[in-house]
Amino acid sequence: MRYGETGFNLEIDLSRGGIERVETDPEETALYLGGLGTNAKLLWDRVPPEVTAFSPENLLIFSAGLLCGTPAIGCNRTIVTTISPQTDLMAFSMMGGFWAPELKHAGYDKVILRGKSPELVYIWIHDDKVEIRDAAHLRGKGSVETTALIQQELNDPKARVAAIGLAGENRVYYASIEQDRSSASRGGIGAVMGDKGVKAIAVRGTGDINIARPAEYMQLCNEVLEYIEFRNANPIKGVMPILQGLGSPQEMLIHEEKWHTENFMWGNSRVRRNDFWNEDIEKSWTATLENYRTRLISCYNCPMKCGATIDIPGLPTFMMKCFTKLTYTMAAFSDLDFGMRIAQRATEYGVDGFTAPQVMAMALELLEKGILTKDDFPGMPEDSEGRFYWLLDRIVRREGIGDVLANGTYWAAKAIVKEADPFAHNCIKKHEQLPLKLSMLNPIYFLMYSTGEKLNITQIEGQFPQAPFPEREQREEFVKDWFQVPDDRFKQYFLDWNPRGENSMPFYPTVAMCCDIVDWQEKMHYIDDAFGMCAGLSSFPLKPPYHIHNYPKFITAGAGIEMDEDKLSQAAKRYRTLVRANNIRRGMRREDEKPPANHWKKRFPELEKELLDAYYRFKGWNEDGIPTVESLRELGLDYVADEFVSRGILADEKTAGSSTAADASSSAAQSVE
């Protein structure tokens, strides 16, 4: 009997039209925990570095997390994994909504797509019945429109549909996969779906999911629910509104945008507008949001309602959440009305709401500087809003200048001005980041930005406050009920952290403390991504309901895998290292691990070097960021060590030894009930 997971993957060969239901190995689950963990293993085993994003051999994996579909509150994430066309590294983007639980109920943990379909198709999974269907009539349709058409065609309004829009069909490097209440946007995974000729995957499931110890599990779920109620009634004091509560930043609920609009950058991520927010703007933006927002909505089995249905007169209804509310507005120096209107079109096209506005703002900056000329933009309107619509339309069709812009700021700047800097100045590992430029180096964020492989800073940060509280009394108040910390030393780190003077940034938290903090934050994100848990209830907010102390109990009672904090930390370290190993094998090195040069005004090269050196050592990586043979063996990743040696990535063959992957699996396997 398998618990938590179904024990079966769906393998679809699009080139031949083959469909297979494949039983999986429970020992792999014990080692890599499912979701992102087993995705990383699949990619390692089956996608060597010679395979590029648009090779037929590239896999596109849709994985439900290990506990998705169980009664665990907010456990609904689909982890989509592939090779990114933008970075040529492993991309793993998450989407919430309802798709993953539905897949579990249909009897599968993952859908693994390989090959390429000669014609545009969609996949219909209804329990045991799986079909590859013609999607010629859906070509060019928007992602939301496609969902409605498929549900109509299947005569099943409860079918959950993950679809691409025009951007995915045309392999725009930052194309997203949209799903009714969420989207997986980062890394260009929608482009890979389009390249494989798949317009959508629709799922409907009616089966059960087994729980190892149901009564115990329900008790744990009830405790989480009670704590959510407590946290909702007791927001954190002394932090900005979006950090006070749980869930994704409640952008659909919150009207006050002083912090974002005055601290995040406008245009091509360069212009700060210090005194932007005033009463008139607040009034007008509040009215816009209230008028367009029809209701707040949640993902599967969650009370948090982080999203909203947006109904703008004359436009189709769509779903919005998070910071996309502001990205188009700020890139175009416009207002919220424009931002929400263009987001509707962008959602239908299926583009990443972080990257697309930055690409368009960069194109306009190049025009302003005379590097591009009016001839490059034939027929483009004069006004900023009109220009954004015009550019978006061309990018998703890869028409004219849109063709080069469709590859993102890094590749577009390289093609136009022959080097990425200074115009694509907001990238890490060729990928656009939050449009945030600050004054003083934050050593914790320096490490997260540099070494993060999720390619999204908001999905790395979390449990430790972003900045010190001004007064010691406030800090003492904060740590009183901070039971989520792995141990009490983290409380002391925070208590001693001052905004100015002694113990302030950039030299406090100390290098050793930063290693501890970053490792904890990252670990929690990686655990979420294996379980399918929404970061908004775990790794992202302060004082969340899920943490390192109750997670092992969920695994034991839910999935039947005997777990404690040490074993869980070791498993998370194992597949986190495997994610890095995939990227190292594809050429990622220390020189790629640097935040944008202008991310902070005040930089400290010696300290930054010390931070990176120390964190690499802390993680068991050598000075180039490559996991060492010893650390790989300790994690049972002997097969990675052997391949690194055979490929010349790690030179010392003597210390690599000769044990096999099978030996490694059995030596590190944990007990499975």
Across 155-282, the runs of DSSP E, i.e. the strands, are 160-163, 177-179, 182-184, 198-204
DSSP 559: I
Beta carbon nearer to ligand SF4, 213 or 305: 305
Beta carbon nearer to ligand SF4, 161 or 640: 161
CB of 322 to ligand SF4, least distance (A): 8
Beta carbon nearer to ligand SF4, 184 or 537: 537
* Binding residues vs ligand SF4 (CB under 6 A): 74, 76, 96, 247-248, 298-299, 302, 304-306, 534, 536-537
Q: What's the CA angle centered on 348, arms 345 and 351, to 5 degrees?
A: 85
CA distances from 198 to 87, 113, 120 (A): 22, 9, 6
Beta carbon nearer to ligand SF4, 59 or 161: 161
CB of 469 to ligand SF4, least distance (A): 25
CB of 299 to ligand SF4, least distance (A): 3
Asked if residue 173 lies in contact with residue 85, where contact means CB atoms within 8 angstroms, the answer is yes
Beta carbon nearer to ligand SF4, 248 or 407: 248
Q: Which amino acid is at 49?
A: P
CB of 12 to ligand SF4, least distance (A): 27
CB of 626 to ligand SF4, least distance (A): 35
Beta carbon nearer to ligand SF4, 70 or 76: 76
CB of 302 to ligand SF4, least distance (A): 3
CB of 539 to ligand SF4, least distance (A): 11
Q: Which of 549, 524, 548 is nearest to 462 (CA)?
A: 524
CB of 177 to ligand SF4, least distance (A): 16
Beta carbon nearer to ligand SF4, 326 or 537: 537
Beta carbon nearer to ligand SF4, 58 or 327: 327
C-alpha 41/C-alpha 121 separation (Å) is 28
C-alpha 595/C-alpha 604 separation (Å) is 13
φ, ψ dihedrals at 202, nearest 5°: -105, 140
CB of 122 to ligand SF4, least distance (A): 25
Tokens at 204, concatenated? 């409907």
DSSP 88: S
Beta carbon nearer to ligand SF4, 107 or 541: 541
CB of 609 to ligand SF4, least distance (A): 37
Asked if residue 543 lies in contact with residue 550, where contact means CB atoms within 8 angstroms, the answer is no
Asked if residue 4 lies in contact with residue 560, where contact means CB atoms within 8 angstroms, the answer is yes
CB of 301 to ligand SF4, least distance (A): 8
Cβ neighbors of 314 (< 8 A, separation 6 or more) are: none
Q: Which of 261, 273, 271 is nearest to 368 (CA)?
A: 271
- Secondary structure (DSSP) of 372-395: S-GGGSTT--SSHHHHHHHHHHHH
φ, ψ dihedrals at 19, nearest 5°: -130, 130
Helix (H) or strand (E) holding 645: helix 638-646
Beta carbon nearer to ligand SF4, 160 or 196: 160
φ, ψ dihedrals at 240, nearest 5°: -65, 155
Beta carbon nearer to ligand SF4, 246 or 668: 246
C-alpha 577/C-alpha 451 separation (Å) is 12
Asked if residue 38 lies in contact with residue 28, where contact means CB atoms within 8 angstroms, the answer is yes
Largest CA distance in the chain: 70
C-alpha 177/C-alpha 173 separation (Å) is 12
